[in-house]
Amino acid sequence: MSSAKEPRTKLTIPTITTSQSTPQTPREQRKKKVVFKCALTNTISDVLTNREGWAQTQGDDWQFFWVTREWMTTCYDKHKFSEKQLICHFRNDFELTRKDFLIKNYKKARKAKEKSGVDVATEFNFIPSSYVLPAEYHLFVEEFRKYPTDTIWIMKPVAGAQGKGIFLFRKLKHVQEWKKKDSSGSEALPYVVQSYIHNPYLVGGKKFDVRIYVLVTSVSLLFFLLHFRPMNAWVHREGFARFSHSRYSTDSVDDAFVHLTNVAVAKTAADYDPERGLKWSLPKLMRFFKSMHGHSKVSKLMNDLAKVIIESLRSVQNLIIQDTHCFELYGYDILFDENLKPWLLEVNASPSLTASSQEDFELKYRVLNHMIDVLDIDKKLLGNENEVGGFDILVRNNKPVEICKVARHNQPFFTPQLNLRLGDYVEPTPMP
C-alpha cells in the first residue's frame, strides 16, 4: 500500500502524450486551472505537479484531492463536498479490497448464480476454495478433510500487504498455534485460508502474478438517479508481472522466495539484484504467451480475465457507496495456472505508486496521467470514448463493452471480444 512517507529516488519525468494536451495561451491556462491537493509524495505527486494547467493548494479550494486512508476514516463523513470536488477512494471500498470481504461477497454472488441455474464450476470459478478464520474454522476443517493429505493451503492476514504474515501448510497442526490465544488472552488475528494453486504457469521455472490497473469512475448524478447503481470500469493496457525470487517447487512450503512474488520479500534475499529486478512488462508477457500458445489461446485468456474483472466488480456493485465525488484505481493481482486460467488473488485499493526503477516510474506515471485524462476534470472528452490514453472501457453503465476483432484461421471474419487489450499499448510520438 502507498504511504505518505515513502522514500523518493531521483527519477526522470517522462514525456507523455495525453488527450488533455491541447495548446493553450497563458490567459486560458489561468482561467481553466484545475486546483489539486495531494497527501502523498510519490509518483502521483509528480504527475499532478507536472500536469499542464493544474495548480497545487494546501487549502480546501481543491477540485481533485489524492487522499490517504486516514483521511477517508477521519474526514470523509465530515467533509462538505462542493459540486466539482473529486477524491480517489470510495467510502467502503474494503468490500472488494479486504480479503475476507472479497471472499464473503464472492461466495454470495456465486450462490446466487448457482440458484439461477448457472454452472458455477465453469462460469463463476475464479477464487480458490477459501475460508475466513477463526469465524469459519470448523467449516474449513470439514473441507480440509475432503482433500488429499498432501494438499497445500495458504494463510493470509485479511488486511496484510507486501507478503507479511503469509505462510503455507499441509497439516492442520500447523494452524493450531495460530488459532490459540496468545499469553495476553487476545483473539487470533483474522486470516484467510485458501487451497494453494499448486500448478501455476511458470516462466524459466519461476511462478509469477500480474498487476492490472482497473479504474472505476464515479457516475454522473443524472445516471445515478435514472439507473440502479450504474458502473463504469476502465482497464489500462500496461501493468507488470512479478516473479518469485527462486524456482518453483512444492518440496518445501516454508521458502517464501519460492512461493511469494512480492518485491518486498524478494528484496530480502542475499543475492537479490535490484538492477535486474524480477518484473516483466505486460507487453513482454503477452508476446511470450502468443509465441508459446498462439493468438487464439491468448484471446481466450483475455476474455476469461475480462470476465473475472467484471464479475468481481458486480459482486460488490450493490454494496459500494457510489458517491459522485469518488473514483478508485484498483490494483488487481492475477495468477495464471498452467492451463492459462486466471485466478484472482486480491484487489488492492492503494496499489503502490512508488517506483522501483526508471522503467517502473514511467509505467506508473503513464497510468496515473491517463487516469486523470479519463476522469476528464477539465471537460475535454466527448463522453462516448472506448479508449483514453492506455485505458480501455470494459464496462459502460453496467454493460460489458465488446469490440469486433479480425478472426484467424477458420473462424468467422469478425468475432466479438470483450474490450480488454492488455499489453497492446505504444506511447504516441509527441508532436514537434
Query: What pTM was computed for the model?
Result: 0.89
What is the distance in angstroms between the CA of the first residue and the CA of the last residue of the chain?
A: 38
The pair phi, psi for residue 70, each rounded to 5°, is -60, -40
Give me the mean pLDDT over the 97-104 stretch: 95
Weakest-pLDDT range from 203-212, 253-262, 325-334, 412-421 = 412-421
183 pLDDT band, cuts 50/70/90, is very low
Select 129-196's CATH number: 3.40.50.970, 3.90.70.10, 3.40.50.2300, 3.30.1490.20: 3.30.1490.20
Burial pattern 277-315, b for ≥16 Cβ within 10 A else e, equals bbbbbbbebbeebbeeeeeeebbebbebbbbbbbbbbbb
Quick one: pLDDT at residue 182? 46
Give me the mean pLDDT over the 238-259 stretch: 90
Quick one: pLDDT at residue 411? 57
Closest CA to 394 of 225, 239, 217: 217
User: Could you state, in order of their start, the residue ranges of all structural domains in the chain?
Assistant: 34-88, 129-196
274 pLDDT band, cuts 50/70/90, is low
pLDDT exceeding 70 applies to what percent of the chain?
82
Q: Is the pLDDT of residue 199 over 70?
A: yes
Quick one: pLDDT at residue 431? 56
324 pLDDT band, cuts 50/70/90, is confident
Taking only the tens place, the pLDDT of each residue in 355-372 is 888 889 999 999 999 999
Q: Are 387 and 264 in contact (CB under 8 A)?
A: no
Rg from Cα positions in the chain? 22
What's the mean per-residue pLDDT of the chain? 85
- Close Cβ partners of 408 (under 8 Å, ≥ 6 residues apart): 295, 296
